[in-house]
Every structure is written in C-alpha cells, then in structure tokens.
Amino acid sequence: MDKVVVTGGGGFIGSNLAHLLLEEGYEVTVYDDFSSGYRSNVERTPEFSTPEFKVVEGDVRDAEHVAEVAAGASIIFHLAASVGNKRSIDHPREDASVNVLGTLNVLEAARTNGVGKVVYSSSAGIFGELRHLPIREDHPVEPDSPYGVSKLAAEKMCLAYAKLYDLEAVCLRYFNVYGRNQRYDAYGNAIPIFAHQMLSGELVTIFSDGEQTRDFVNVRDIARANLLAGRVTNVSGAFNIASGDALTVNELVALVAAISGREPTIVHGPPRKGDVRHSRADISAARSGLGYEPVVGLADGLTEYIDWLRTESALGPDRA
C-alpha cells in the first residue's frame, strides 16, 4: 500500500481528495494546521467508512516537521495554502509565507526523502485579466493580486525542481471550485457565499453588474484530477482543471435560488479588487495528458452541495 501525504487535508478540497485516496487503497497522512480546515472533515462517517487517516497537525512553514512527515511517502499532494485574492490583499505577508515558503519546504521534503512526485494545487488566479477565451495553459500570466503572484511563484518552483532533481511535479490550475465540505467564508468563492446568504435569509450581494462569467467545477472532479495526476507517469507540467464551460454570476444566482427554493433580495456592490471580468478554461491538455474529464454537471453539483449545507449544520441548526 503506497503512502501519500495530503497537505491541507483537513480543508475543503484536501478532505475530498483524502477520502478519495482512501477509497482507492492508499495509506493517507493528512497534514494540516487546522487554521482553516476542519478535523470533522477527516473523521470517520457512515458515508466514508474507510480506514482512518493518519492525521498530523502542523504548518507547512515548519520545514523540519514537513520533512519528517514526508518520509516514506511516494506522492505528496500539496494543497495547504492561504487562499483567495481578497485575503491576500488584506494579508500579503501571510499569503507569501504560506504559499511560497511552504511550497519550498514541501519540495525540499520531497527531494531529501526521495518522494517521486509532488502534485501541486495551483490556481487560475495566476493569469490575471484575460486576453482571450478559452484560457489555455500558455495564456500570458499577469496576476492581479498577491495570491496570484504567490501561486505562480510556487508553481514555477515546482516545475524548476522537476527539471533539477529526480522528482516529477504536476501543477493543477483550479478554476472556481465548489462542493461538499465548502463552508461559508467571507473571503471565499461565489457559490458558498450566495448559498449562505440565501439559506440564511440575508441580502444577496452581487459585485459589479453580475455579467462577469466564471467556470465552476465540482470538488469531486478536482479530487479525481489529483488522483489521475498522481498516477500518471513521466509527466511534469501545468494543467487547467475546470469544467470547460462558463455562466454569468447572474445566471448562477438564479440557479442557486431555484435549487434552494428561496427568492433572494439582490443588491449590487462595486467590483472587487483582483477579480477578472471573464473566465473559461480550455481543458484539452488535461484531457490528453492526464485523462481528465469533468463528470459532475453544475445543476447536480449545486443540488448535492445545498443538500449538504442543509444537513451538515454548516449554517447552524437554525439556518437550514
């Protein structure tokens, strides 16, 4: 049984990946400081009755501890991060220390322990304002926030290590991810914010005119992309991971309202700093290079997510 490490494994995406890896027969070590992740995400549940994870509490900025945890692993899935444009604008030093220094520590831990592969969770935030759609991997990278800069720097570091050392690195550029275990966060993505506002009976705030477009991808597809990246051999590089489709924020709000059965009161705010106007990924490279194909449609994925919000007390017992 191969040992793998999932940094940030208590978080939204990391926990979904960790459960999938368990189901696929891996020995999984979750490494997380639980500053934003949840221990409940990696606890045994009736739905996930697989063997327990090995959970190690720690910070990726602690180089010695990361190296200790990486010993004996065949793959490190590196998801631990300070996430989001707005958060990085408010806290740029923390963003850089976690995303850049933390990634360097993971790479050094892999190199010194003979770990054969690092699968790094990157972001479409590296591209900045877009010049053409759909976005291919060779689109110019001009990030508009410290978050985009730090994710790009960490991605470049991963690819440099793959050239210099006996190590494969696959960087997965996520677009707008949503799904199970994604709790409300004021710094978070549109779907949990809109769902929280609707189910809580709050005003729904749309920044700008709502005609900006986004490519939304379900976390189950993201987890499977990581699994495929871990299994592919003799491949290093960067790949867009998304649905390949896009819709406007106004269309998204209407869909969330229909699925949740709520009639929201909508207000508009000014555009948010660091947000791009339009986004849609070209995923042909991931199809050919990793065998990736998204399978969760947006309507089905939103229904599943809103059902989870209602039943998992993510909003509190009086808000479902």
H-type helices in the chain, by residue range? 12-23, 63-70, 85-90, 92-96, 102-113, 146-164, 190-199, 219-231, 249-260, 284-290, 298-311
The closest of 74, 44, 46, 285 to 171, measured between CA atoms, is 285
- CA dist., res. 148 & res. 173, Å (int): 11
By the 10 Å C-beta count (0-12 exposed, 13-18 middle, 19+ buried), 194 is classed as buried
Q: Would you call 263 helix, strand, or coil by DSSP?
A: coil
Q: Is 147 a catalytic residue?
A: yes
Catalytic site residue from 26, 31, 120, 147: 147
What residues act catalytically?
147
